[in-house]
Chain A
Amino acid sequence: MTIDPGQGGAVRTISVWSRAHRGLCTACAGILAAAVAGAAILPAPARALEPARPPLRIGLAGEPTTLDPHAVNIAPNNALAWHLFEALTHVDAKTRLVPGLALSWQALSPTEWEFRLRPGVRFHDGSAFDAEDVVASIERARRLPNGQFGSFVQRISDLRIIDPYTLRITTAQPHAALPLDLDSIFIISRRHAKASSDAFDRGEAAVGTGPWRLRRFSRGERVELDRNDDFHGVLPDWASAELRVYGAERARMAALLGGDVDLIESVPGADLVRLRTNPRFAIEQAVSWRTLFFHADERVPENAAPRSHPLADPRVRQALSLAIDRRAIVGRLLDGAGRPASNLVAPGVFGHDSTLAVPRFDPALARQLLAEAGFPGGFDLTLAAPNNRYPGDARIAQAVAAMFARVGVRVRLVTLPVNVYLPRARRGEFALALLGWGSFSADLALRSLVATRDPSRGNGGWNWSYYSSPEVDRLLDAAAGEFDPERREATVRRAMRQAMNDLAVIPLHHTMASWAMTRGLRYTARTDEFTFAHEVHPATERR
């Protein structure tokens, strides 16, 4: 789960729990989750490729800052790491959990898991992969000074190697989401367990089991990759690839239009319209995992004057939600690159409750609710948003301020660069604060965003509204100890419904992720917004 990126910097933390996983693990409690996703497992026959095909050139929006996969947890770094490394579990384009370096996993007891590892896998240097490497990687992720992946393994209390391809992991408390957490721990060779970040950046330690080998890493400029012909999965269609960084939208578009790259990620909304009508290019789009919403500060200090804190009244929050024209925001401000939201997580994500309807746009009803709540003449509030983090963030805030004005709520609008905005919002300086969050698992999003604040348990760390519902807290606790995915998701959905009905947050929209490529290529749009060179294919080769 994540606060989200704007300028290419998503903090991606994965908490994936998804339908495939449900299918996979119907028997988490005991039965082995047999590996399903065929493509990922079957050894791919080496394909005859014309030798002279030029490298695949991809234009990235965000700059990978390091090759150390355990150091800095931002989206561009994780995306690059997936080219060179693998994790025990993987996530497919639709956020479904699939086997990675682990073929299967099962919970032996509420606190003990057994992972069966994939035999016959080799690192880029030719050495064989086994459980020792997994232990070394988890230990490194936990210990690395300044490392930002420690929280994915903090619940692990013990690692036991049964045989080279069987690993038992014990957690301090029941933790049903462990397989999802391990999707974030990249497996390095145990020979480099002590390597510094610098050794990874120089390339000598950047030795994984992934589909590509590193040829050259030039920070801020480009990464050159060669196909790993010993890869155990589907081999990439290109023998080499170049990932180039074009931070500015204009530069990225120009690179595609001018033929310098074959594919770009994060296409500017305004250009999508133009590219669609251009026969030279193709577009792929998907609703991404990022949801934008407002936290409304519900705190009422003791001895506060009556009605001095209107946002504490659910009717007022309801009125504000009804006053927002989400279709206009998505259609006009984002040029269609978004979907109005009813949930805290995107459709299809584990725990998304599809029975919740997108809030209506009904200013008349909003005014009526405000009057009922005792504010017929409206009130004043501060609405804050970052201005360089999410697509269109400042303009969206302006539009919402204008919509509120129409129902009589007078807004003092504050838009700030994200480095100033986040600390102030976390200190609770704003009545309404915009936030974006990406998550593959609704319970983890709810735990951070709406669970009652409890620093000792890591709950409610981003609960800027100070919403507190014993019912939601209880459901979330129940979900954490529930190993049956069906029942777990049902519980999470109930928590989601409760929180959204209480307007713990006021949802706005889910963003869309988009890719543009020269015609002749195809790329399956990924919900997690990652761009993978090994998932780009020639359009003619349908499989």
Chain B
Amino acid sequence: MGYGALVRIAQSLLTLLAMSVLVFVAIYLIGNPIELLVPPQANQAEMARAAQALGLDQPLPVQYLHFLGQALKGDLGRSFTSNAPALTVIFERMPATLELALAAALIAVGLGIPLGLWSAFADGHPASRATLGLATLGFSMPTFWIALLLVMVFSVQLEWLPSGGRDASATLLGWRTSLASWQGLAHLAMPACSLALFKLALIIRVTYAATIDTLRLDHVRQARARGLSPARILWAHVLKNIGAPLLNVIGLEFGALVAFSVVTETVFAWPGMGRLLIDAINTLDRPVIVAYLLLTVVLFTLINLAVDIACLAIDPRLREARGR
């Protein structure tokens, strides 16, 4: 376990390094950020001065090494477009995104696993088929379209829910969050639901498939034949078997929810990190892009680590395999 964790951390550091090189080179290939940063009436001398102030006059390898040196000290640079530290800009948005991702994940997992299990236990039942059919539909409908539909119905026609934006005026344990007030939750409802829909469909299908496979296993069929109650079969056999694959899917999908929910954030004007990345790419705001992607790598690494540990706890076979 200790050795495994070390390997994992070393791998992550390598990934971080590779990612930062990649972003540097990619942005260099797109163009010089200075072209977009100076005001149009700036003359050559002013452009040169601005480039110097931002270190953009240096050759790319020098810029990269300088970045690396600063990064080791915990400084990922200042955003070109807001003149604030890149990490500050990202962390300002993070609570909004985490809230949204958490709410969506709760909806997807809280509904998806029971529905998937039930569909498998009641396989063949019309309601089960309907659930699976709807799940397939959930896959195939684009998120932005669902989001627009929700807005048209619930905000514009019925005027029940706000069309977008975030209301974090209430505080919970010192944090400004949408979760602490009805108004905040009302703002959160539609973005969370539309973001959850795809994940919900996915989790239903994955749970269903894994459960069906498990129910066909010999020892489960024997348990049924012995007359064990469905509840007992569920807890003792099915959940333990499907736990590991399900956790892997949920972990990865949660990472994606946090890092790449840009479409939903755009439609609902949700002030999260996803839009920040797109805006940064549009303005070649390199410090923000680099910091964002590095954080994403860290996030996925942490999630994977958490999933691994959870799987070890659930599945004894994995423990044995690793122990050897």
Contact = CB atoms under 8 A, between A and B. Distances in A.
Interface of A: 1-3, 7, 9, 11, 13, 63, 65-66, 68, 71-74, 145-146, 148-151, 154, 197-198, 201, 218-222, 244-248, 250-252, 254-255, 257-260, 388, 417-420, 422-424, 426, 437, 444, 448, 455-458, 461-462
A251 B266 contact: yes
Interface in B15-49: 30-32, 35-46
Given A198-B84, A248-B269, 8 more contacts: A3-B40, A198-B85, A218-B92, A220-B271, A221-B96, A254-B156, A419-B284, A448-B40
10 contacts: A9-B283, A151-B42, A218-B92, A248-B269, A251-B269, A260-B162, A419-B282, A422-B35, A424-B31, A448-B40
Nearest to B268: A251
A246 B282 contact: no
Contacts of B269: 244-248, 251-252, 255
B102 interface: no
Interface stretch (B66-74, B75-83, B214-222, B293-301): B75-83
A388 B283 CA distance: 12
A197 B279 CA distance: 20
A483 B164 CA distance: 51
Among A68, A73, A248, the most chain B Cβ lie within 10 Å of the Cβ of: A248
A418 B36 CA distance: 9
B53 interface: yes
Interface in B221-277: 266-269, 271, 275-276
B84 to A, nearest CB: 6
Given A66-B82, A260-B164, A248 B41 contact: no
A257 B156 contact: yes
Contacts of B276: 220
Nearest to A454: B43
A98 B80 CA distance: 33
B84 A63 contact: no
Given A11-B39, A13-B40, A255-B269, A220 B164 contact: no
B31 A254 contact: no
Contacts of A71: 82-83
A258 B41 contact: no
Contacts of B30: 419-420
B165 A418 contact: no
A458 B38 CA distance: 13
Contacts of A65: 79, 81-83
A255 B42 contact: no
Interface string B139-158: 00000000010011001100
Contacts of A252: 269
A255 B36 contact: no
A63 B279 contact: yes
Contact of A201 (B31, B84, B282): B84
Contact of B165 (A151, A244, A422): A244
B89 A2 contact: no
A65 to B, nearest CB: 4
Contacts of B302: none
A456 B85 CA distance: 34
B54 interface: yes
B271 A419 contact: no
A316 to B, nearest CB: 28
A27 to B, nearest CB: 28
A175 to B, nearest CB: 13
Contacts of B53: 145-146
B150 to A, nearest CB: 10
Contacts of B212: none
A151 B44 contact: no
Contact of A11 (B40, B44, B54, B80): B40
Contacts of A251: 151, 163-164, 266-269
B166 interface: yes
Given A72-B83, A456-B44, A258 B163 contact: yes
Interface string B81-110: 111110011001100100000000000000
